[in-house]
């Protein structure tokens, strides 16, 4: 199966976690786009969605799914999103699509994080994928030095030759050269650095379930 077919497989499989009549938390990315297409087939049986990005909001609305402001609703039963990497404990690196801050917000508002991913995302130790960190531009140089002191190399993410601007009006640093043996401690530490909006380690908001797309079908991993 192609990676695209694996993404479609897990996007469809995630429907089983959607609670009829309720609002579902929706992530961002190419795997989630497959989920959104599948979700459209249930649109008359759900109340709507809370979205983690302008891009997902546009897709949901285009398919006739109502999108609620996160502040207008309470706790959600489930949040469904992809990942750039997921380890054996359900901890993830996220933010390849620059939506990490709102993804973490919606994940925190949800009782259960269901990760949908193809098997290329499964790793023993997080850190091969460059770690996205959303930062306030004024703090970029200092945060870059702080990562360098840990052995990491932070690069400003560009789009069309200019710094990428997130949905929150901030920038993204992508950090290579890190090996996250203790993702929870690492997330807590980087969260404390002034100017960091969100670090793309999802250990405090880790997955409860991962639907992993493999050539043999969907593997369900519970954490």
Residue 77 as a binder of ligand 5RP (CB under 6 A): the answer is: no
The residues that bridge with 51 in the sheet, in sequence order, are: 26
We find the least distance from the C-beta atom of residue 96 to ligand 5RP, in angstroms, to be 3
Rule CB under 6 A: choose which of 11, 82, 90, 152 binds ligand 5RP: 82
Tell me which of 6, 14, 24, 28 binds ligand 5RP, using CB under 6 A: 28
| Dist. CA 132–CA 185, nearest whole Å | 17
Smallest separation (angstroms) from ligand 5RP to the CB of 84: 5
Q: Cβ–Cβ contacts within 10 Å for residue 2, how many? A: 8
Q: At what angle do helices 3-13 and 30-39 cross, to 10 degrees?
A: 40
Is residue 168 a contact point for ligand 5RP (CB under 6 A)? no
Tell me how far, at minimum, the Cβ of 132 lies from ligand 5RP, in Å. 7
Binding pattern to ligand 5RP, positions 100-119, x when CB under 6 A?
x--x----------------
Q: Which one is catalytic: 22, 37, 103, 181?
A: 103
Give CA 22 to chain center in angstroms.
21
Cα separation values, 96 from 25, 87, 110, 222, Å: 19, 16, 21, 23
Q: Does residue 153 bind ligand 5RP (CB under 6 A)?
A: no
- Please select the residue that binds ligand 5RP; options are 11, 29, 130, 152, rule is CB under 6 A: 29
Question: What is the nearest approach in angstroms of ligand 5RP to the Cβ of residue 10?
Answer: 9
Nearest to 107 by CA among 154, 51, 162, 65: 51
State the residue for tokens 């200092």. 142
* Residue 103 appears among annotated catalytic residues: yes
Residue 83 near ligand 5RP by CB under 6 A: yes
**How does strand 92-93 pair with strand 85-86?**
antiparallel
- CA-wise closest residue to 81 among 123, 127, 30, 45: 30
Binding-site residue total for ligand 5RP (CB under 6 A)? 17
Beta-bridge partners for 24 = 49
Is 27 an interacting residue with respect to ligand 5RP (CB under 6 A)? Answer: yes
Residues that bind ligand 5RP (CB under 6 A): 27-31, 81-84, 94-100, 103
Q: Active-site positions?
A: 103
């Amino acid at each position: 199966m192609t990676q695209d077919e694996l993404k479609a497989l897990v996007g469809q499989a995630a429907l089983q976690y959607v609670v009829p009549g309720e609002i579902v938390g929706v992530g961002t990315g190419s795997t989630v786009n497959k989920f959104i297409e599948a979700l459209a087939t249930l649109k008359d049986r759900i109340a709507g969605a809370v979205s983690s990005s302008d891009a997902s909001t546009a897709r949901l609305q285009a398919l006739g799914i109502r999108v609620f402001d996160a502040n207008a609703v309470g706790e959600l039963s489930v949040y469904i999103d992809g990942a750039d990497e997921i380890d054996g404990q359900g901890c993830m690196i996220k933010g390849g699509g620059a939506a990490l801050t709102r993804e973490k917000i919606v994940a925190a508002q949800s009782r259960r994080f269901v990760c949908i991913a193809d098997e290329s995302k499964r790793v023993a130790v997080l850190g091969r994928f460059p770690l996205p960190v959303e930062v306030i531009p004024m703090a970029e140089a200092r945060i870059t030095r702080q990562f360098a002191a840990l052995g990491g190399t932070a690069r400003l993410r560009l789009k069309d030759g200019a710094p990428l601007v997130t949905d929150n009006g901030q920038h993204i640093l992508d950090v290579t050269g890190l090996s996250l043996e203790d993702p929870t401690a690492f997330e807590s530490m980087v969260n404390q650095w002034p100017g960091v909006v969100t670090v793309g380690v999802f250990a405090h908001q880790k997955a409860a379930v991962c639907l992993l797309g493999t050539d043999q079908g969907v593997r369900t991993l519970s954490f």
